């Protein structure tokens, strides 16, 4: 799906069908503009293309994907329209000098018009540049909170690819060229440069355990977790019965806990929740676009879900204005 | 960490601490002084925005209280996704709230104040360093601790929140030993397992559903079904806060709220089924806030007739499945095509990243903070869903502090009171000037352990 960040836009051409009909819902609609050209039967084409009931980004047609992405972007905005509210003039008697001197750093920060998305792109670009040079990924710039040792870096990379931003795609190109062309020497050079830059920023393995030291002095075991000191339940004659005994998972050792506490923070994209096997267990729920009940049937023209005839009628009014009779 | 504290050049500690939870929607702030024990009860809650109303009048931060007409109001928020991005706007809001001569709580002298600033997990390094630079170079706070927001909650008396039966004389162990903290705020929802008040970074997970997305989604639904409310974020937000709830049985509630097929007269639909509510929109002349009232079929009929004649005195919306399908997004983000795990699965994902031995302790202490925790039924639903996922042997307890919005702030205030601990965590201005920004960033990243 990663066409170097190029996003397919829905074509303006739609096939019109007279009237309406209930269509068995077997998967995402309107793959017809990709496959349907050589096949007369659009339903069959769609069904064979979908391959199964599971619905994922890859199965959705480009048009739907674009629609969903656009809708999510709209939902994520602070204001429905683009507004720019300038900083109002300072009130009188605020006790501050309007033209106060700022240090250069502060001036730079105050004048920055970057949004979070800009910062994220910048940072991804920076990280990408660093990680190709030293493949071990020992340190990422600044806090060293990089994708070392974390199994989520792959997911993060996928997410980055998914986001398909321009800056990202450019960076791909930029970072790949020296490796493929220059071979070992240039890579080595770059690595040296990189280590020079990074040297200042490297994090030493933090010395953990200060939190636990206060609680230390429990039973010979853990210095991080304190032993239980509360009241115990009254003994029961069948406490030793192997059928009734409760299984308690073994406590992690101190080393494990220390490693866990010392782990660097995940990066912004790594911490993002994924779409795991547990979520795929159930099919995606679909709702009537008109009233919000289950989307039991689809409009055969545009694939919009509706619940029943009343809502279909309402939808048709809109559908006709958009797609014609 | 002892050696650094013994620095002789350290000046007398600042007289008071400004605890600041700089949220995307509201900022929670208050001063904590060592001698006055009551100061850590309630922070001031200020909208963290610059707003412009329909008359193009601009309100900054707390001035929004003076706004009478919220129709078509537009907001500029300095915090995006939980992180301060636009310092230009943030500085203006902070200035008017804390540093001006006519600031509500009197002007603050940064050089005699310690700052505890709660930040979201998984920030970008550049945003963190911007923040440090602004604090020291622009404001010049005497000392400063950029704390991980979720971890501050460990300084609550967590067992009191869970109402654990215990000897009343027991002194709460602070910070809480094991806590699974869910912070569901304006921009997103994060799950953070905490051990001794320190986050287990490798298990932090974030779901990009927060109050903002829910409000926007409700605005979209209402615009499709009733009036166009897309330009009224403030009204829709109030509506969401007053009328929405988390359904404990989504299927049954959806069934009850359904109109039915053509010609069908469903009893639950006609009577409202206990779900339908009427929302009277504010008109900002006689009514400045919307009102929720029970759905009354007869009244609704009369109102409709009046509306037809153009004599209606009030604008009424009937909310049905909007009431619960909006917060449902927290549990099923895939409903709007957002391919992320729901909240319960998020907890599960996070648990998979910690050793099994910690599961029982974490699951027995699931604490929810943030504005979305105020939805009716949120806690019960979350508990129900987590129980379904985890091993039967684990006891699951989910709870929220009395006021989940100020939860992080109260935790921070409790931490600020613990003088020795603070001394080890804070960075002074002198240290910043001597060792530089990278050192400060590293120190905060490693939780105050000396490098």
Which has the closest alpha carbon to B86: B49, B60, B44? B49
For residue range A26-37, list pLDDT tens digits in order: 555 444 444 444
Q: Determine the residue of chain B that is closest to A204 in CA distance.
A: B451
Are residues B141 and B179 located together in one domain of the fold? no
Q: Residue A23: what pLDDT?
A: 53
Helix, strand or coil, per DSSP, at residue A305? strand
Which has the closest alpha carbon to B244: B351, B364, B329, B302? B329
Residues of B in contact with A289 (CB under 8 A): 224
What value does the mean pLDDT take over residues B427-445?
A: 88
Option in A83, A200, A211 nearest B438 (CB)? A200
Please name the residues between 366 and 405 in chain B that touch chain A, using a CB distance below 8 Å. 389, 393
Separation in Å, CA of B364 to nearest CA in chain A: 14
Are residues B382 and B418 located together in one domain of the fold? no
Are residues B287 and B162 located together in one domain of the fold? no
- CATH number for the domain spanning B197: value is 3.30.420.40
Domain for residue B385, yes or no? yes
Report for A233-242, B95-104, B321-330: range of highest mean pLDDT: B321-330
Are residues B105 and B53 located together in one domain of the fold? yes
Residues of A in contact with B86 (CB under 8 A): 113
Please name the residues between 162 and 201 in chain A that touch chain B, using a CB distance below 8 Å. 200-201
For residue range B222-259, list pLDDT tens digits in order: 998 888 888 888 899 999 999 999 999 999 999 888 88
For residue range B286-336, list pLDDT tens digits in order: 888 888 888 888 887 787 777 777 777 778 888 889 999 999 999 999 989
What is the C-alpha separation between A147 and B317, in angstroms, rounded?
Answer: 49
Domain hosting B12: range is 2-150+406-445
3 state SS for B115-145 = EEEEECCCCCHHHHHHHHHHHHHHHCCCEEE
Domain for residue B332, yes or no? no
Q: Residue A164: what pLDDT?
A: 41
Cβ of B207 and A273 within 8 Å? yes
> Burial, B309: exposed, middle or buried (Cβ in 10 Å; 0-12, 13-18, 19+)?
exposed
Number of domains in chain B: 3
Domain for residue B451, yes or no? no
A107 at the B interface (CB within 8 A)?
no
Are residues B142 and B162 located together in one domain of the fold? no
Q: What are the tokens at B277?
A: 């509510």
Q: Residue A11: what pLDDT?
A: 55
Are residues B252 and B309 located together in one domain of the fold? yes
Domain for residue B259, yes or no? yes
Helix, strand or coil, per DSSP, at residue A297? strand
Cβ of B122 and A267 within 8 Å? yes
Of B327, B359, B385, the residue at which a domain comes to its end is B327
Cis upstream peptide for B175 (omega within 30°): yes
pLDDT band at residue B7 under the 50/70/90 scheme: very low
What is the C-alpha separation between A6 and A8, in angstroms, rounded?
Answer: 6
Of B327, B356, B381, the residue at which a domain comes to its end is B327
B124 at the A interface (CB within 8 A)?
yes
Beta strands, E only, chain A: 297-298, 305-306
Q: What percent of chain B has pLDDT over 90?
A: 32
Domain ranges of chain A: 28-76, 285-325
Are residues B115 and B133 located together in one domain of the fold? yes
Mean pLDDT score of chain B: 86
Give the torsion sign (CA, B342, B343, B345, B350). positive
Residues of A in contact with B348 (CB under 8 A): 278
Phi, psi torsion values for B145, nearest 5 degrees: -130, 115
pLDDT band at residue A93 under the 50/70/90 scheme: low
What value does the mean pLDDT take over residues B175-183?
A: 89
Residues of B in contact with A262 (CB under 8 A): 446
Are residues B53 and B121 located together in one domain of the fold? yes
What value does the mean pLDDT take over residues B276-282?
A: 88
- CATH number for the domain spanning B223: value is 3.90.640.10
Q: Residue A198: what pLDDT?
A: 42
3 state SS for chain B = CHHHHCCCCCCCCCCEEEEEEECCCEEEEEEEECCCHHHHCCCEEEECCEEECCCCCEEEHHHHHHCCCCCCCEEECCEECCEECCHHHHHHHHHHHHHCCCCCCCCCCHHHEEEEEEECCCCCHHHHHHHHHHHHHHHCCCEEEEEEHHHHHHHCCHHHHCCCCCCCCCCCCCCCCEEEEEEECCCCEEEEEEECCEECHHHCEEECCCHHHHHHHHHHHHHHHCCCCCCCHHHHHHHHHHHCECCCCHHHHHHHCCCCCCCCCCHHHHHCCCCCEEEECCCCCCCCCCEEEECCHHHHHHHHHHHHHCCCCCCEEEECCHHHHCHHHHCCHHHHCCCCCCHHHHHHHHHHCCCHHHHHHHHCCEEEECHHHHCECHHHHHHHHHHHHCCCCCCCCEECCCCHHHHHHHHHHHHHHCHHHHHHHCEEHHHHHHHCHHHHHHHHHCCCCCC
pLDDT above 70 (res A310): yes
Domain for residue B430, yes or no? yes
Are residues B102 and B185 located together in one domain of the fold? no
Of B327, B360, B387, the residue at which a domain comes to its end is B327
Helix, strand or coil, per DSSP, at residue A306? strand
Q: Residue B189: what pLDDT?
A: 94
Report for B68-77, B163-172, B234-243: range of highest mean pLDDT: B234-243
Mean pLDDT score of chain A: 65
Q: Residue B291: what pLDDT?
A: 87
Q: Which residue did the predictor score with more confidence, A319 or B131?
A: B131
Please name the residues between 261 and 290 in chain B that touch chain A, using a CB distance below 8 Å. 261-262
Q: Are B132 and B438 in contact (CB under 8 A)?
A: no
pLDDT band at residue A187 under the 50/70/90 scheme: very low
Q: Residue B326: what pLDDT?
A: 93
Option in A114, A210, A272 nearest B206 (CB)? A272
What value does the mean pLDDT take over residues B115-120?
A: 91
Cβ of A142 and B129 within 8 Å? yes
Half-sphere exposure of A210 (CA within 13 A, CB side): 17
Are residues B173 and B84 located together in one domain of the fold? no
Whether the complex's predicted ipTM surpasses the cut of 0.85:
no
What value does the mean pLDDT take over residues B199-206?
A: 92
Are residues B246 and B119 located together in one domain of the fold? no
A193: number of Cβ within 10 Å: 11
Separation in Å, CA of A235 to nearest CA in chain B: 20
């Amino acid at each position: 799906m990663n066409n170097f960040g190029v996003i397919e836009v829905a074509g303006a051409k739609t096939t019109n069908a007279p009237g309406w009909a209930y269509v068995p819902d077997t998967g995402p609609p309107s793959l017809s503009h990709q496959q349907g050209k050589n096949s007369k039967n659009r339903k069959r084409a769609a069904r064979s293309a979908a391959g199964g009931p599971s619905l994922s980004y890859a199965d959705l047609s480009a048009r739907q994907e674009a629609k969903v992405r656009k809708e999510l972007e709209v939902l994520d905005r602070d204001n429905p329209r683009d507004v720019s509210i300038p900083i109002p003039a300072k009130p009188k008697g605020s006790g501050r000098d309007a033209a106060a001197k700022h240090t250069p750093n502060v001036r730079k920060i105050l004048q920055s018009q970057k949004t979070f998305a800009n910062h994220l792109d910048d940072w991804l670009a920076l990280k990408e540049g660093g990680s190709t040079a030293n493949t071990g990924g020992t340190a990422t710039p600044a806090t060293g909170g990089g994708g070392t040792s974390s199994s989520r870096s792959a997911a993060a990379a996928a997410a980055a690819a998914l986001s398909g931003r321009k800056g990202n795609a450019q960076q791909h190109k930029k970072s790949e060229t020296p490796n493929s062309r220059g071979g070992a020497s240039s890579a080595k050079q770059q690595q040296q440069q990189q280590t020079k830059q990074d040297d200042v920023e490297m994090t030493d393995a933090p010395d953990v355990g200060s939190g636990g030291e206060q609680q230390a002095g429990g039973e010979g075991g853990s210095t991080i977790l304190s032993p239980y000191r509360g009241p115990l339940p009254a003994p029961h004659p069948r406490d030793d019965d192997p059928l009734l005994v409760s299984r308690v998972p073994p406590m992690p050792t101190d080393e494990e806990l220390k490693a866990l506490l010392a782990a660097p923070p995940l990066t912004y994209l790594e911490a993002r929740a994924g779409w795991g096997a547990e979520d795929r267990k159930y099919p995606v729920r679909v709702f009537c676009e008109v009233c919000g009940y289950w989307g039991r049937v689809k409009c055969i023209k545009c694939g919009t879900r509706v619940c029943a005839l009343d809502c279909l009628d309402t939808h048709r009014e809109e559908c006709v204005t958009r797609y014609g009779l | 960490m002892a050696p650094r504290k013994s620095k002789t050049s350290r000046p007398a500690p600042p007289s008071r601490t400004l605890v600041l939870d700089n949220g995307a929607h509201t900022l929670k702030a208050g001063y904590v002084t060592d001698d006055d024990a009551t100061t850590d009860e309630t922070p001031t809650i200020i909208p963290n925005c610059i707003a412009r109303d329909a008359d193009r009048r601009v309100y900054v931060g707390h001035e929004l209280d003076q706004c009478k007409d919220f129709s078509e109001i537009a907001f500029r928020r300095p915090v995006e996704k939980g992180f301060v991005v636009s310092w230009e706007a943030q500085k203006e809001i902070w200035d008017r709230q804390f540093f001006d001569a006519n600031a509500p709580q009197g002007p603050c002298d940064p050089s005699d104040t310690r700052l505890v600033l709660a930040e979201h997990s998984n920030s970008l390094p550049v945003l963190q360093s911007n923040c440090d630079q602004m604090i020291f170079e622009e404001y010049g706070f005497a000392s400063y601790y950029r704390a991980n927001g979720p971890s501050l909650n460990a300084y609550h008396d967590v067992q009191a929140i869970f109402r654990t039966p215990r000897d009343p004389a027991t002194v709460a162990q602070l910070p809480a030993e094991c806590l699974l903290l869910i912070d569901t705020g304006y921009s997103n929802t994060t799950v953070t397992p905490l051990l001794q008040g320190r986050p287990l970074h490798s298990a932090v997970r974030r779901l990009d559903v927060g109050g903002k997305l829910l409000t926007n989604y409700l605005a979209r639904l209402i615009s499709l079904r009733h009036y166009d409310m897309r330009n009224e974020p403030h009204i829709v937000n109030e509506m969401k806060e007053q009328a929405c709830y988390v359904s404990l049985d989504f299927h049954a509630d959806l069934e009850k709220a359904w109109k039915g097929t053509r010609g069908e007269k469903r009893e639950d639909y006609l009577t409202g089924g206990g779900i339908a509510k009427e929302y009277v929109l504010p008109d900002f002349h006689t009514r400045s806030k919307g009102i929720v009232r029970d759905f009354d079929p007869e009244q609704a009929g009369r109102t409709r007739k009046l509306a037809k004649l153009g004599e209606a005195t009030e604008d009424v919306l009937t909310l049905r499945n909007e009431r619960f399908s909006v917060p449902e997004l927290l549990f099923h983000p895939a409903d709007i095509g957002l391919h992320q795990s729901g909240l319960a699965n998020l907890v599960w994902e996070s648990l998979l990243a910690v050793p099994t031995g910690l599961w029982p302790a974490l699951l027995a202490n699931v604490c929810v903070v943030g504005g979305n925790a105020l939805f009716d039924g949120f806690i019960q639903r979350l508990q129900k869903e987590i129980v379904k996922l985890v091993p039967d042997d684990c006891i699951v307890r989910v709870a929220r502090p009395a006021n989940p919005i100020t939860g992080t702030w109260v935790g921070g205030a409790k931490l600020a009171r613990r003088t020795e601990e603070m001394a080890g965590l804070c960075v002074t201005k002198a240290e910043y000037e001597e060792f530089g920004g990278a050192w400060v960033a590293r120190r905060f990243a490693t939780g105050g352990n000396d490098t």
